[in-house]
Structure 1
């Protein structure tokens, strides 16, 4: 009898055994499909993984209507209803991951959590999209033991399935086992008992959730996974509910809107929800801030030194406005304000711009890190154009609040469609409204871009931004047959413009603009800088 049963390629060197096996049987000698799937899974991304011990979740009393609506999506329908797909998207920092975490936890407590995975670009073991399907299969095998027999047969017949393509894994490890079990159940006495005696026992959990799909390390894999999930929704015979949470990246948006999987006559229907349009967000952010400030007044080391009416309602209102319906901004500033070594009232004044932030303080770092990652992730070829475009977007609204792609394209002599093309990877920061104007989705984004200490090479010079917009007024004059009308906005921008900016300097000379007083153009331009000094 061999002392190393099942081992091949065995060597003994200096009394040390080295046994390498290439046989299938050794992988699952005990027929333990759960252990086998576990060994190929990315367990760091599981709902209860120790690596996610501090995962964000919705604060008590917030996002209540959203959570209820999504729970209804998962739990509605009987055992004969069809599988469905829900896409939760929204601006960066809107709170998608916290909502996904809270939804998963609530449904787990109610027995309706089948599987989930939480991607993270910065966390080891949570960014490889090619491990997702096996990880979901592992959880299904754990939470739905009846599937284990069918999964084991697949792996025994083809061990390479554990490293196969995502589409093959979805078909062989999830779709086929579920459908085969369902077919057997339909013919079983167990079903007859359930039907005859009207037993409403829940046969299986329903939710399969994938959070942060845009954090997966490859855009092509992200698209592939969406199509795999679409295929599962189309083929599965059980009413599983798939939920995908992600930023509205252009390739993800295009997959849902253009791929035949979702567009044909028999295409998969996707329920879509933009978290940035949550009507209750401002009220819930207000509630979050009030609760946090009450806790600071109760327990902070400097609580006895705080003014009696601190903070003022107007100050809280400013924070809500700056939040732009997302929780990352208020959570970031509260984190700074409540630090035990800081005076909360002084920190709030710094946040509101009433006093200078010390150089050693970095109150916005979590938010700044998110902004930097988003800008750095766009294709290199588009970065210069994006930086130019944001010269129009970092200042208060001009042209009665309407800044269109066409205006920017005329200013920079770009081809039609260029602005929308290069901004396609920033749909989590900007949006195109129904009248095709450009809207910045985060009130805190201009603050970031105008502050060199926060944005570094992404910084936009304030004077250059004013000069860019003022120069665009001059371009409108050149292209119009009407008499020049120097509006208040134009004069305000000229007063604050960096007049050494070559764009505006050249624009004035090309217009051959002679002031009414007859003074030379150099004096005309210098007059603005003199006014600015005063």
Structure 2
């Protein structure tokens, strides 16, 4: 038998069997006791009679209980070895378990004494006599089995022998939590880590130069967002949506908010979609990534996290299930198991991280997946009262229109909306240009850029061209800050392009266009909209959506048509005026010979670039948010194979006019 218990050397015990009794000898002890039926001596601590009787393992038996006798009180206490379970003894032949009995000598006192208090009573009269070391167990009577003074707090393992605790977490001096299989938590955690989208975290290592709000910019918006996050009242809205056209820097607000809330211990999870990353442009890893972060977010209480990891260990195939099943098994059930009393107090607790930040929902490439996620947020996270607040950022595309932004949106009354297109950020953009360009000039080797650069006139030119678009400002700054180029020359190129660009499509030829990054954003939106339209409609025109957008936004001459109505008695005529900027949606659908609702469908994926009108009022059907969209479409060097020549657009209008004339 191992002579070490919990890392402590045990005393040398030798057991011999004589006349049906078991006798124990402590090879290191000196005091003696006497057995009942034999005259052999049994070594042990002074004043203790240890008698052992064999227990038959083939049938149940109750422990032999004898009345405990006590020694006279000599103010020094008595050490008694107690066992809470039969001790296994290794010997030759069949293994036998021994049930201990402990007796003490009579005490002159007539009142029973409390053993616990007796063990912890400090010495008061004289120093305790020391026992031999016996392998490091008992050094003196004033210490317990661990060598600690017995006048301190009582230990739940005091005087225990033959006790083995496997895989247990001791969380407090008076509490023991037995984790019968803690390995399942580690296995589940590792399995889960292999199935998350680590690049979707807001602070992922592979996210290069993520956008953030400059110091002292977007102050009012950030304050409003943080006020909503910190409001833990059960009546506060659980969903806040940040929306706006392309380039309004929704992601910068999300990044800045996530970083500041992470420092305050408020973030439960983040997921930043990206259309160019196959790992995070879909919902396959969304729930595992969110659940994994929730499991690790509460650093003071790992109970919820352990429950989530055990669920994964029980069923590793959960990652091949649909999103509803993953949500149920990895978030809802662990929450119910960990907090069976409900989430009201949990949600209001300052120590519980409760913010889930989801950025770029529009960059989830499948529109149906966007709709499904919005439905889950509504029916599960909000309606079931999960203890989280969700901060969502997305362009105002079709799924968001149907769920939140539209008048009949099913999440409209459950959420708050921040529309960045309704905030004029010109003051903040001016600060961005001044701070960033000034810093670039000071850090460069260009002597012309190190002082009084850029000029106030150049700053105003840039602010006017940006027209409230942070993406425009960001693109200019990245172009000017290119390595191995002097910033003064780079900025001069930008100013030249701004001043020379014309609506006719003729732009200043440059070696590398300063708005290449902005162009890539616009291109991705147009290509996606055309692809979605082609999958739904039988149209041979590969640029049908772009052509229509050009026709509606390009200034065109008005057509005056004479429509003659005659019969045998009278002939009259009146002019018929066609102007795409004045007609209603229904009128334009009639002119194009579209079915009702077709115009709305064709422009449904361009809400991040254009204001799209779908009602019956007069006026422009679509209007671009920013002049740079039209500049992109009119410059073949910028839009490449998406370019439609001006004469082709005018020819399309002429064909429509001739068709109307022929019909008349």
TM-score, L = length of structure 2: 0.59
Aligned residue among 323, 326, 336 for 2:469? 326
Judge which range, 330-339 or 383-392, deviates more: 383-392
Partner of 1:376: 527
User: 2-side partners of 1:186 and 1:510: how far apart?
Assistant: 69
Contact 1:116 1:208 in 2 (8 A): yes
Aligned residue among 356, 360, 365 for 1:208? 356
Partner of 2:635: 451
Instruction: Within 5 Å, give how 1:323-362 maps onto structure 2.
Output: 323-339=466-482, 340-342=484-486, 343-354=489-500, 357-362=508-513
Instruction: Within 5 Å, give how 1:43-442 maps onto structure 2.
Output: 43-78=198-233, 80=234, 84-144=238-298, 145-184=302-341, 202-237=350-385, 239-256=387-404, 262=410, 269-279=414-424, 281-304=425-448, 310-313=454-457, 315-339=458-482, 340-342=484-486, 343-354=489-500, 357-378=508-529, 379=532, 380=534, 381=537, 384-395=543-554, 402=582, 404-406=584-586, 408-432=588-612, 435=617, 437=620, 438-442=622-626
Gaps of 5+ in 1: 1-24, 195-199, 472-501, 513-534
Partner of 2:165: none
User: 1-side partners of 2:225 and 2:449: how far apart?
Assistant: 44
The 3 A distance-change label for structure 1 pair 101 and 305 is closer
User: 1-side partners of 2:349 and 2:245: how far apart?
Assistant: 39
Q: 1:34 is paired with a residue of what secondary structure?
A: helix
Contact 2:589 2:598 in 1 (8 A): yes
Between the two proteins, the alignment pairs up a number of residues equal to 440
User: 2-side partners of 1:83 and 1:157: how far apart?
Assistant: 35
Shift of 1:395: 3.5
User: 2-side partners of 1:53 and 1:503: how far apart?
Assistant: 48
Partner of 1:39: 194
Shift of 1:401: 6.3
TM-score, L = length of structure 1: 0.72
Higher relative contact order (CA 8 A, sep 6+): 1
Shift of 1:288: 1.0
Tell which structure's C-alpha radius of gyration is larger.
Answer: 2
Shift of 1:42: 0.8
The 3 A distance-change label for structure 1 pair 285 and 375 is same
The 3 A distance-change label for structure 1 pair 255 and 336 is same
Task: For residues 282-316 of structure 1, give each alpha carbon's deviation from its aligned partner in whole angstroms, at most 9, with x where no partner exists.
Answer: 21112212223333443444342799785343x43
User: 1-side partners of 2:493 and 2:552: how far apart?
Assistant: 28
Contact 1:256 1:262 in 2 (8 A): yes
Shift of 1:54: 2.0
Higher helix share: 1
Shift of 1:227: 1.7
Shift of 1:462: 2.9
Gaps of 5+ in 2: 1-179, 502-506, 558-578
Contact 1:249 1:428 in 2 (8 A): yes
The 3 A distance-change label for structure 1 pair 332 and 258 is closer
Q: 1:209 is paired with a residue of what secondary structure?
A: strand
Contact 2:543 2:642 in 1 (8 A): no
Shift of 1:503: 6.2
